[in-house]
Amino acid sequence: MLNVANLTVRFPSRFGDVTAIEDVSIAIAPGEIHGLVGESGAGKSTVGAAIIGLLQAPGFVADGTMTLADTDLRSLTPIEAHNLRGKRISMIFQDPQTSLNPLMRVEDQLIETIQAHEKISAKNARARAVDILEEIGIQNASERITAYPHQFSGGMRQRVVIALALCTNPKLIIADEPTTALDVAVQSQVLDLIKELATSRKIGFMLITHDIGVIAQIADRVSVMRSGKVLETGATAQVLGNPQHPYTQTLLDSVPPLDRKNDRFRVPEDEGTQSRKDAGDRAERWLLKGVQQEKIGLKIDNLRVDFPGVRTSLWRKPDAFTALHDISFEVKPGSILGLVGESGSGKSTLAKAITGLVNPTAGRLELGNETLPFGKLRTRGHSSRQIIQMIFQDPYSSLNSRHRIGAILSEPLWLYGLVTDAKERRELAAAMLDLVGMAPESIDKYPHQFSGGQRQRIAVARALLARPRFLICDEPTSALDVSIQAEILNLLKDLQSKFGLTILFISHNLAVVRQMSDDVVVLRSGRIEEFDEVKNVFQNPKSEYTRELLSLTPVLPASWI
């Protein structure tokens, strides 16, 4: 159905053409799911963009052939390519929130897409849209179709995006990281849906992802990419079960296992990341000087968080929504506690309550021997503002895009009065970059000039420069490929061990939590389902919900490891 042969894509620049992908060949049969894996910058999304005709200017196809059935995709005029997109080739993007128009009802978006490619009445287009929503598992589709995107959960929004891709009966769907930000329960539903559509409709799927567990679960064939080239391709069991290329072997070694805990992960040797042995001695001495105190723990006692409801009438008091129901547990000093649960379970709300960004309704937070004030009562000058630091999920949006890295890293130093001299602040910021495996000259660049993994290292450096004793990591590796994820996990393990940090590690990836945590709390609908040592939770879970989460986690078959 799809045949891509010797595809080469280049991007002109003032220093000459940059080759993004080189000599790539991929074939996809009807009803086949072909996985495309590789680290960030490997060229996976560029391949998909070239096929569907959405290459970002000034990129161009320099060589090779692309055919969909009997259609030569390279010979199409702009109008012909526009008509083909959505009709015969559709795309599912990573973030459904940005893929859907927030100002339009789902109904209008589906009808508009159908009518753009067919001469059909709005009534008939709506009937087809309802049928498609029902097919992909949205209950009460005739009623839900009138809702806006924000009125759906993350998993339901992703189903709507899939419905948009399906509504014109395409032959090929390019799914670019369709499950990255989803918890394991919703991810399992979306993957089951993709498998069902490939089987029932004979749709070919190009599944672009960095999650090798997902590829192992549903892909028929897989191609491994790096630096714009396909290093290995073939049946999934063949490539992942018996990898021939050293990079594929290293990539598989970087996948965190669910059944055991590794001390460290293997990462590709030529990543260009500096060795930890070369880390800045000055930054280490400065951090160690700040952690001479006793390790600090956190006690949470009957914590409750309510959010006010939306008033729908002048005469009716809005119902409050309870995000956390009387939560109680303890993070031991110098330990790492993993916090897991599906979307909406209350993980991020708990983190915000600890940092003072959300005002709890009741309960008690005790950091060390000090009771923490709630929300706005915790003033800017309160000691916990420095002691507790947070690493967010998306480093790009959490770093100020208008500031150079030096200014971003220096901010905690002057904000908390740790270093008064501007020159000394800059030198310490450069040393901290060295400590987290970044070149010190990176200090004069902007966030957009770095990869996702490098930006996450910068976010770690910024948190450390506040000399924290309690670190909250909120999904710090969910958007990273396995090799970069392995580097960040190794880095966090080293820092926690060396500086005695207490860490709350929030993630929907149970395999990552298995590697990082000493204890685990499982949240569901704002309540604790299970709280125990990591070994007991993963080897002998007491809660049926925990067992369900473990069973839904994509893993490599034991025979392939």
467/259 Cα distance (integer angstroms): 34
Check whether 274 has a pLDDT greater than 50: no
User: Given pLDDT bands bounded at 50, 70 and 90, which one contains residue 276?
Assistant: very low
pLDDT tens across 230-270, in order? 999 999 999 999 999 999 988 888 888 888 888 887 776 64
Extents of the domains making up the chain: 2-88+171-253, 97-169, 276-295+331-337+347-521
Tell me the three state secondary structure of residue 347.
helix
Mean pLDDT value of segment 285-304: 84
Looking at per-residue pLDDT, the higher value among 109 and 266 belongs to 109
CA 376, 380, 382, 386: dihedral to nearest 10 degrees?
A: 120
SS (H, E, C) 163-183: HHHHCCCCCEEEEECCCCCCC
- DSSP E strand stretches across 77-163: 89-92
Mean pLDDT value of segment 279-303: 80
Check whether 207 has a pLDDT greater than 60: yes
99 within 8 A of 85, measured Cβ to Cβ: no
3-state helix, strand, coil in the chain (%, to 5): 40, 20, 35
Q: Give me the pLDDT at residue 181, please.
A: 65
189 within 8 A of 532, measured Cβ to Cβ: no
171/115 Cα distance (integer angstroms): 18
225/232 Cα distance (integer angstroms): 7
Enumerate long-range contacts of 116-119, CB under 8 Å, 24 or more apart.
116/86, 117/83, 117/86, 117/87, 117/168, 118/168
Estimate to the nearest angstrom the gap between the alpha carbon of 408 and the chain centroid.
Answer: 23
425 within 8 A of 410, measured Cβ to Cβ: yes
Estimate to the nearest angstrom the gap between the alpha carbon of 456 and the chain centroid.
Answer: 12
Mean pLDDT value of segment 454-465: 89
Task: Give the range among 246-250, 300-304, 435-439, 527-531 with minimum mean pLDDT.
Answer: 435-439
Give the residues across from 370 on adjacent strands: 367
237/121 Cα distance (integer angstroms): 46
pLDDT tens across 20-34, in order? 999 999 999 999 999
Taking all residues of the chain, what is their mean pLDDT, rounded to a whole number?
87
**Dihedrals φ, ψ of 446, to 5°?**
-100, 160
pLDDT tens across 513-538, in order? 999 999 999 999 899 999 999 999 99
- What residue has token string 């209950």? 139
**2-88+171-253 against 276-295+331-337+347-521: fold identical:** yes
Highest mean pLDDT among 94-98, 383-387, 485-489: 383-387
101 within 8 A of 49, measured Cβ to Cβ: no
Mean pLDDT value of segment 127-139: 87
- DSSP-derived secondary structure letter, 381: T
Check whether 277 has a pLDDT greater than 50: no
Residue (of 187, 206, 157, 170) closest to 44 by Cα position: 206
> What single letter denotes the amino acid at residue 28?
I
Q: Give me the pLDDT at residue 499, please.
A: 85
Cβ of 547: how many Cβ atoms within 10 Å?
Answer: 13
Residue 230's H or E segment, with its range, is strand 229-235
Check whether 203 has a pLDDT greater than 70: yes
Tell me the three state secondary structure of residue 12.
coil
Sheet containing 71-72, strands listed edge to edge, beginning at the edge strand earlier in sequence:
18-28, 2-11, 60-68, 71-72
Residue 123's H or E segment, with its range, is helix 122-135
64/74 Cα distance (integer angstroms): 9
Q: What is the pTM of this model?
A: 0.79
* Lookup: tokens for 281: 């001695």
Q: Give me the pLDDT at residue 21, please.
A: 92
pLDDT tens across 314-360, in order? 676 667 788 899 999 999 999 999 999 887 788 989 999 999 988 99
Tell me the three state secondary structure of residue 515.
helix
Q: Give me the pLDDT at residue 98, please.
A: 75
pLDDT tens across 482-509, in order? 877 888 888 888 888 888 899 999 988 8
Looking at per-residue pLDDT, the higher value among 59 and 321 belongs to 59
Check whether 367 has a pLDDT greater than 70: yes
Check whether 273 has a pLDDT greater than 50: no
Q: 32: alpha, beta or left, given left = phi > 0 and alpha = psi -120 to 50? A: beta
Mean pLDDT value of segment 364-369: 92
Looking at per-residue pLDDT, the higher value among 189 and 331 belongs to 331
Q: Give me the pLDDT at residue 272, please.
A: 41
378/344 Cα distance (integer angstroms): 26
Buried b (16+ CB within 10 A) or exposed e, 528-546: bbbbbebeebbeebebebb
Question: Which residues neighbour 177 within 8 Å (Cβ) at sequence distance 6 or greater?
Answer: 94, 208, 209, 210
243/273 Cα distance (integer angstroms): 25
CATH 3.40.50.2300 applies to domain 2-88+171-253: no
Check whether 405 has a pLDDT greater than 70: yes
Q: HSE (CB half, 13 Å, CA atoms) of 171?
A: 15
User: Does residue 58 have a cis bond before it (omega within 30 degrees)?
Assistant: yes
Provide CATH code, domain 276-295+331-337+347-521: 3.40.50.300
338 within 8 A of 304, measured Cβ to Cβ: no
